Every structure is written in structure tokens, then in C-alpha cells.
Amino acid sequence: MSLLARLARLAEQHADDLGHEVRPLQIGARQIDTDREPVLMGVVNLSRDSAYRESIAVSAESALRKARVQVAQGAHVVDLGAESSRPSASGVDPEVQLRSLRPVVEAVVADGIAVSVECYDTGVARAGLESGASVLNLTGSGDDDTMFSLAAEHGASLVLCHIQGTHARDLDGTDVADDPFDAMLDAFGRRLERATELGVPSLAIDPGIGFGFRMHDPASRARYQATTLVNSFRLRRLGVPICHALPHAFDVFEDQFRTAEGFFAVLAHLGGTGVYRTHEVAHVRAVLEAVSLVDLEG
């Protein structure tokens, strides 16, 4: 069966989910309709454990320079993280994270750039917001109520990630379900309802395909990621934008891995994604602009 036929069958199976609209996403002072203007979230890593070496900033000055470049390339917001989410990475004490994160957030925000803080610790979240971050990218949470209240207090948006455990390195090794979307709808639905109750002004959801999980081989992992990207429209019934951390699938793309996020961006677009977290802002922007030119009506 051709890919087009498989996509047609998927659309037919879940036809009721195809027409759902989602609310705009707040990025700082802007309200963005992500279906009309896809949000690009650039990535700057303050931890040297990151697998994507090109994203690592070795100093506050390096982080600010990288953030400026990403905004010039089209990023709407820059995601700063002080601990790698790789399961094999070393944990970083929250106090150590704060020492590297605070001055960078302050410097980037002072430069007029919207900042997202990737975190799961409430102390790191609080410090990021107090330093001027306008988005929390929650790659886990052991205390949702505190996280949600902090976001509401500071008028910040939240990206809620689907994860088995309290954070990415706390995964329990459970095999990924063949079709995880019912579980995602349930988990996200409950968290979105609670976040709204506590006053969070703007929300997005991330199915969490960028996190480590047990797979039999790299090809199976890439296949799961691709399938999830295309199926993401099934989550739009929750009424909020879908965010994806685009994979780079090194084991599949090898020395061409820097082109991988563009490939996965096409699949994400087909799946109704509105927020693209990417290390390759310029490349993904060009790919999405090219995709927007394609008119398949005829």
C-alpha cells in the first residue's frame, strides 16, 4: 500500500478529528494562531550532555549569541535547558541548574527575545519565570499544581509533555503502546482541565516522542516517532496546539542527521502540529514555508 493510501485510510478512520480548531498560543505579548503561523521554538542547551552538540552554549555569551541567531532565522521563542533529557545523561542538581540558567534567561530576555525554560523541578521553574521566561516547557512534573500556579502567577504559557515518570530520566522502561493516543487524551485532558482551573492563560501539549523509551532498535524508534507525528491530529480535540520536539534520528540519518528535523517537520505538519521545537531553525522554517506553498486541491 502506498504512503498516500495509508494516509487516506488514517484520515478515514479518524475523520471526526480532522476539523478541530485549537486555541492561539501566547508567546510573551503575542497571541499566535499556530495553524496560520507555525511557532518555531529554537533550542539552546546549557548542559554539555546534550546529544545535539551544535545546540550547546559554553557560556552566557555563547547562549545569547545562539539565541540571537535563532531569532534571526525565524524562531519565535528560544527554549533554554540546563539538564539533558537523555536517559543516560547525568542528573544536574537544581541549584547548579539555577546558577547557569538565571543569568542566561535574564540576558536573553533583556535582548527582547521570548524565552522558554525546559524543566521539571519547581525551583527551576520559579527561577526561570522570575528571570523573565514567558513559557515553561514541562518535560515532566512531580507537582503539577505548583507548576500550574507558578505559570498562572507569572502569566506564562505551558507546554505539557506526555511522559511515563516524573521526568525524562525517570522512565520505567515500559514498552510504548502500539496506539498511545487514548492514554494521551486521558492524561492530557485531566492536566489541561486542572491547569485551566488554576488560571494558566495558554497551553500546548507535547506527545513526548523526543524522550527515551524502550524500543527494540533505532528503526523501530524512528518508526514510532514518525507514526506519532502523523497521528497527532487526533489530539486536537483537546483544543490546544500540538508541540513536537523534532527527532534527529542519528542512527537512521547518520552523517546527514542535521537534515532529519526537516523531514520530520513535514510529517508533523501533516499531523496538524502547531509548535516545532527544533535545533535547526533555518532549515525547518524553509521546509514549512515550502510545504505551505503546496496546494493539493484539484
Q: Tens digits of per-residue pLDDT, 76-121?
A: 999 998 776 655 556 666 777 778 899 999 999 999 999 999 998 9
What is the arithmetic mean of pLDDT over 267-279? 97
**CA nearest neighbour of 208 among 236, 260, 243:** 243
- Which amino acid is located at 226 in the chain? A
- Please indicate whether residue 164 or residue 21 has the higher confidence score (pLDDT): 21
pLDDT for the residue 49:
65
Q: pLDDT tier at 3 (50, 70, 90 boundaries)?
A: confident
Query: What is the rounded radius of gyration, in angstroms, for the C-alpha atoms of the chain?
Result: 18
Rank 57-61, 138-142, 231-235, 248-252 by mean pLDDT and report only the highest: 231-235
What is the arithmetic mean of pLDDT over 240-261? 93
What is the arithmetic mean of pLDDT over 264-291? 97
User: Any bridge partners for residue 256, and if so which?
Assistant: none
Q: Please report, rounded to a whole number, the percentage of residues in the chain having pLDDT higher than 70.
A: 88
Give the tens place of pLDDT for each residue, 188-213: 999 999 999 999 999 999 998 766 55
pLDDT-wise least confident of 7-16, 44-53, 75-84: 44-53
pLDDT for the residue 297:
62
Mean pLDDT of the chain: 89
Task: Transcribe 142-201 into DSSP letters.
Answer: S-HHHHHHHHHHHT-EEEEEP-SSSSGGG---PBPPSS-HHHHHHHHHHHHHHHHHTT--
pLDDT at 270 over 70: yes
- Domains of the chain plus CATH, in order, are 35-291 (3.20.20.20)
DSSP annotation of 91 reads P
**Model pTM score:** 0.93
pLDDT for the residue 54:
80
**Is beta strand 30-32 parallel, antiparallel or unpaired with respect to 135-138?**
unpaired
